[in-house]
Chain A
């Protein structure tokens, strides 16, 4: 019994994954369909793809007993069938109905899996759907008699998924026979009416009762599985399996350990070799020499193998960012439509890979940005025309790799950020004084203040002021950098830089007093030695001038209260950058770069400002990782550094 339950659980989770993909597919198809509205008829390729996706949803949900989902999928399928057979002209309102239906499907699936209330306006929607279908079904009814009934039936078997219409006609005969048998069985019941609703019910009943019909349904699902496994739906022919992300995480942790030990072994080998060559090991040196060499050799081999394992696992965790991008065309379309704007979304670099955990987290910030672009960035078509731009605005979503990072750019050709309005708003909200002189960059930074919004009217899309600060916070949380460029009148460009993975990073090791600290290399701009003569003070705070820019210094030893004396002659400085700001971290010495495996420290000792985690070095000792973001922002919010910066040395 418990086995059955387990199987069902597994099946439900499979269903969830499957339907997620299918719903995205449906979205993509509907968007294409919408483009061909002007031609008055639908591209059969698109309709077939739509039909197949709906059919699979119907079949799977039926098997799990999600009758609401099954029913709606069936109705939508019917609608598609009418389109396919060209009994119904393709129009914008039909596409809207299909979009609406797709959204209800999402909700119904959610309710079916997790429980909860059915959407209230569902019946109103299905009423509308039935009505628009009925108009055309009535006519077809006259022409083809009871075909709508047969149609309903043929679709609950596997006939229509992949077979062409000719094959289907042969099948219809078979269905008719089944229908007859079923009707005979129900002879004592009133004859079924033609209304779609009752046909669905009857169909569902019969699936339950007639093994002959149920069996093909199961087969169908298997076929869907195989279809997915062979990757027919996507362009590649790779064989794929689904793996729980947790299993990969465990594997990655283990590899982390392996990397640590590998480094340790090569340290030992190096030490041993040095001892041998220094003649420090005299006992039976004839044996030790070759042994040391052997150890060094095999440790080198081990290093290579572990590196490869590590890389492979990292690759396994990598997924194309397209997984997130896929849902945006629909989003942009909906928002644009709601705001009466015309927007073209161009996506490039969807195949760019990055870590699965980051892909999962980056969707929401990107969604906010795109909404913002449509809502605030792109002007109304009329305004655009007046400004000599094409009526339809363009939003570009672009992703690419750069070194160890992925860059995601969201740009629009809209009006840009209205700095005067930002200033006015900032004064009104008391964020800045009315006679404060702020640079453009500082004004732009204002939009990251929680609660800030320039929108006069709060729309359902954006303008509640929960946008940009949340975006920035999310990106920072992912150890990313978020930047905005805006040119008034010609557009805004948001740039997100993210690490490819959160687990392993390149770091610069530095010594401060007695301990080694690691500084993530992605935030390091440069490191240098500066004579104390070149260090000046502003309001008692040390700064240096670097290529004309004033860079405040933060002495790590003093920030962390580690003790230790200042060197009176020079400072060793690591310049780190954070969103355009630079800060020089003063350390005692540089200890080289190393790849480190991040271990969270916060669940061990609680959160500590300025420390983001720890890593275990090759010799087994622990090095704390400096959290550049929190350290720099703390240094800035202290006011000291800010004063130094603004005083313009």
Chain B
């Protein structure tokens, strides 16, 4: 980790490497360290009685991974999937979680001095997951902390208590 950070700094000075993706008209960025991989949309199996924001589960090379629809999570209008729809696979705690986004744009180096704290207007209302807003030319990139996207209560729902099944 430390080595990677060092490398990053050598390459680009004080900059954050983020994966940027779109949701509607907004652009978001996630620290590349939180991203495991990005895959095309695959068949999502609906899980009845699961929390509302949970889209279902997918099979990622034999492993079951829950999928969260970020639009639902952020209270946005749901849309049909397109060719650009992607699943960003991330790791929360020790568990992998997939996040459905409209499209993944690119990997950006955002200089640290270009990242500002989120304006108070959007911060505060259960939006601890917004780390700040990054400026790249005329683009505004909302920097997300994916581990915080799943709020504490939801995380405990995710963790579940596996008393019944053999692990």
The answer for the CA separation of A603 and B161 in the assembled complex, in Å, is 7
Instruction: Give a binary string over A607-627; 1 marks a CB under 8 Å from any B CB, 0 the rest.
Output: 111111110100011111001
Q: Residue A621 contacts which of B45, B161, B165 (CB distance < 8 angstroms)? A: B45
Interface contact B167-A600, CB-CB below 8 Å: yes
Contacts of B62 in A (CB 8 A): 256-257, 260, 616
Interface contact B46-A616, CB-CB below 8 Å: no
Given contacts A560-B49, A606-B157, contact A601 B64 (CB under 8 A): yes
Given contacts A607-B164, A612-B164, contact A622 B158 (CB under 8 A): no
Contacts of B95 in A (CB 8 A): 603-604
Interface of B is mostly: loop
From B2-10, B28-36, B51-59, the one touching the partner chain is: B51-59
Most buried by B among A602, A606, A611, A620: A606
Instruction: Give a binary string over A247-287; 1 marks a CB under 8 Å from any B CB, 0 the rest.
Output: 00000000011001000000000000000000000000000
Interface contact A605-B165, CB-CB below 8 Å: no
| B:42-86 near A, CB below 8 Å | 43, 45-51, 54, 57-59, 62, 64-66
| B:137-167 near A, CB below 8 Å | 157-167
The answer for the CA separation of A618 and B160 in the assembled complex, in Å, is 27
Interface contact A605-B47, CB-CB below 8 Å: yes
Interface contact B58-A613, CB-CB below 8 Å: no
**A250 vs chain B, min Cβ distance (A):** 12
Most buried by A among B43, B48, B161: B48
Given contacts A606-B157, A612-B164, A622-B64, contact A601 B57 (CB under 8 A): yes
Contacts of A560 in B (CB 8 A): 48-49
**B73 vs chain A, min Cβ distance (A):** 15
The answer for the CA separation of A623 and B167 in the assembled complex, in Å, is 18
Given contacts A605-B54, A612-B164, A613-B165, contact A621 B49 (CB under 8 A): no
Contacts of A616 in B (CB 8 A): 59, 62, 64
Contacts of A612 in B (CB 8 A): 164-165
Given contacts A257-B62, A606-B158, A616-B62, contact A600 B47 (CB under 8 A): no
Q: Which residue of B lies closest to A620 (CB)?
A: B59
Contacts of B167 in A (CB 8 A): 600, 603
**A298 vs chain B, min Cβ distance (A):** 21
Q: Which residue of B lies closest to A625 (CB)?
A: B165
Contacts of B160 in A (CB 8 A): 602-607
**B162 vs chain A, min Cβ distance (A):** 4
**B56 vs chain A, min Cβ distance (A):** 8
Contacts of B159 in A (CB 8 A): 603, 606
Interface contact B48-A604, CB-CB below 8 Å: no
A599 interfacial contact with B, CB 8 Å: yes
Instruction: Give a binary string over B101-136; 1 marks a CB under 8 Å from any A CB, 0 the rest.
Output: 000000000000000000000000000000000000
Interface contact A600-B165, CB-CB below 8 Å: yes
The answer for the CA separation of A600 and B161 in the assembled complex, in Å, is 11
Q: Which residue of B lies closest to A517 (CB)?
A: B48
Interface contact B46-A515, CB-CB below 8 Å: yes
Contacts of A624 in B (CB 8 A): 45, 47-48
Interface contact B59-A621, CB-CB below 8 Å: yes
Interface contact B165-A602, CB-CB below 8 Å: yes
Interface contact A605-B166, CB-CB below 8 Å: no
A561 interfacial contact with B, CB 8 Å: yes
A237 interfacial contact with B, CB 8 Å: no
The answer for the CA separation of A260 and B60 in the assembled complex, in Å, is 13
Contacts of A515 in B (CB 8 A): 45-46
**B44 vs chain A, min Cβ distance (A):** 9
A357 interfacial contact with B, CB 8 Å: yes
Contacts of A608 in B (CB 8 A): 47-50
A502 interfacial contact with B, CB 8 Å: yes
The answer for the CA separation of A562 and B49 in the assembled complex, in Å, is 10
Interface contact A611-B57, CB-CB below 8 Å: no
Contacts of B65 in A (CB 8 A): 604
Q: Residue A604 contacts which of B49, B57, B161 (CB distance < 8 angstroms)? A: B57
The answer for the CA separation of A598 and B165 in the assembled complex, in Å, is 9
Contacts of A257 in B (CB 8 A): 62
Q: Which B residues have a C-beta under 8 Å from some C-beta of A?
A: 43, 45-51, 54, 57-59, 62, 64-66, 95, 157-167
What would 17 more interface pairs be, CB under 8 Å, given A604-B65, A606-B161, A614-B57? A503-B166, A515-B45, A560-B48, A560-B49, A562-B46, A601-B57, A602-B160, A602-B162, A602-B165, A603-B160, A606-B158, A606-B159, A606-B160, A607-B164, A608-B48, A621-B43, A622-B45
What are 15 residue pairs bridging A and B, where the CB atoms are less than 8 Å apart in the complex?
A560-B49, A561-B48, A603-B95, A603-B167, A604-B65, A605-B57, A605-B66, A606-B159, A606-B160, A606-B161, A607-B160, A607-B161, A608-B47, A612-B164, A614-B57
Q: Which A-B residue pairs are the 4 nearest by beta carbons? A: A560-B48, A606-B160, A600-B165, A622-B45
